[in-house]
Amino acid sequence: MSSKLRVAVIGAGGRIGSEAVRAVEAADDMELVAALGRGDSLDVLTAAGAEVVVELTHPDSVMGNLEFCVRHGIHAVVGTTGWTEERLATLRGWLAESPSTGVLIAPNFSIGAVLGMKFAQLAARFFESVEVVELHHRGKADAPSGTATRTAQLIAAAREKAGIAPQQDPTTHGLEGARGADVDGVPVHAVRLRGLLAHQEVLFGDTGETLTIRHDSLHHSCFMPGILLAARRVGEVPGLTFGLEHFMDLD
């Protein structure tokens, strides 16, 4: 058996999964041992001796795939979105029964997007008002995006820690949904448009000034350095890690 890291991709036929297959194949220190699409048996993972699974499917599929991986001691790098506290608690329960297994869930694998979230977290305590606008392709199943949800949560936590009062919405007349989704008190607006890939603006405002932090993913290749970094490190970090920043030596 070679000393290369044995990596499998689930969701291999998808927009990001197909790019991940190419990235793993091109990595000198990795061997692609399986590339699974919908309907393929997960038993292929154990038969192929996968050490790390890269999971890039759909919010309806990810839990079943992760349960299999964790129960078989296969580390997982997860890009699939749609996470809730309930789902995370279930995953933590599985991991508690397989204490040497690592799972990294990354709302975004793009280095620029991770930095954008960090910058927003840093700016959060200096501005009275903040809103998030995320813009994606028309094929996206979940809204708001995992990145926007995480960004809003980080901003809300930073504001609370700094003792900033919750934002008051001045709207007294309006159509349902016009002010976006409320994520921990931060309005998040989701745009779906043919031609786009993944984009986000965090808009901060205070007296006489605004600050906009914008990130644009222009091609799925932008997610690959983060996925490869995560695949290399996930086996060293048992349990659940949420956010690629924890593998980027930023903290």
Ligand X SMILES: NC(=O)C1=CN([C@@H]2O[C@H](COP(=O)(O)OP(=O)(O)OC[C@H]3O[C@@H](n4cnc5c(N)ncnc54)[C@H](OP(=O)(O)O)[C@@H]3O)[C@@H](O)[C@H]2O)C=CC1
Contact footprint for ligand LZUJQKHR (CB under 6 A): 81, 107-108, 136, 140, 145-147, 198
241 binds ligand X (CB under 6 A): no
Q: CB under 8 Å to 180, separation ≥6 — which residues? A: 131, 187, 188, 189, 190
Q: From the list ligand LZUJQKHR, ligand X, none, pick the one residue 92 interacts with, judged by a Cβ distance below 5 to 8 Å according to partner type.
A: none
Give bridge partners of residue 203 from the DSSP assignment. Answer: 131, 212
Q: From the list ligand LZUJQKHR, ligand X, none, pick the one residue 136 interacts with, judged by a Cβ distance below 5 to 8 Å according to partner type.
A: ligand LZUJQKHR
Give bridge partners of residue 36 from the DSSP assignment. Answer: 10
Give bridge partners of residue 133 from the DSSP assignment. Answer: 189, 201
CA gap 112, 110 in Å, rounded? 5
137 marked among binding-site residues? yes
> What is the DSSP-derived secondary structure letter of residue 206?
E
Taking Cα atoms as reference points, which of 190, 144, 185, 189 lies closest to residue 168?
Answer: 185
CA gap 9, 40 in Å, rounded? 12
Interface positions, 136-175, toward ligand X (CB under 6 A): 139
Q: How far is the CB of 95 from ligand X (least distance, A)?
A: 19
Q: From the list ligand LZUJQKHR, ligand X, none, pick the one residue 23 interacts with, judged by a Cβ distance below 5 to 8 Å according to partner type.
A: none
- Read off the tokens for 141: 């199943």
13 binds ligand X (CB under 6 A): yes
Interface positions, 108-127, toward ligand X (CB under 6 A): 108-109
CA gap 133, 237 in Å, rounded? 33
CA gap 228, 224 in Å, rounded? 6
Which H or E element spans position 201?
strand 198-206
How many contiguous H segments (helices) and E segments (strands) does the chain have? 7, 11
- Read off the tokens for 249: 């030596």
Contact 202, 116 (CB under 8 A): yes
Piece of 34-42, 90-98, 114-122, 204-212 that binds ligand X (CB under 6 A): 34-42
CA gap 160, 206 in Å, rounded? 17
Q: From the list ligand X, ligand LZUJQKHR, none, pick the one residue 56 interacts with, judged by a Cβ distance below 5 to 8 Å according to partner type.
A: ligand X
109 marked among binding-site residues? yes
Q: How far is the CB of 140 from ligand LZUJQKHR (least distance, A)?
A: 4
Q: How far is the CB of 37 from ligand LZUJQKHR (least distance, A)?
A: 17
Residue choice 10, 91, 130, 186 for contact with ligand X (CB under 6 A): 10
Q: Which residues are annotated as catalytic?
A: 136, 140
Residue choice 5, 57, 116, 245 for contact with ligand X (CB under 6 A): 57
Binding positions for ligand X, rule: CB under 6 A: 10-11, 13-17, 36-38, 56-58, 61, 65, 79-81, 106-109, 139, 223
Q: Provide the annotated binding site.
A: 11-16, 79-81, 106-109, 137, 146-147
Residues tagged in the binding site annotation for NAD(+): 11-16, 79-81, 106-109
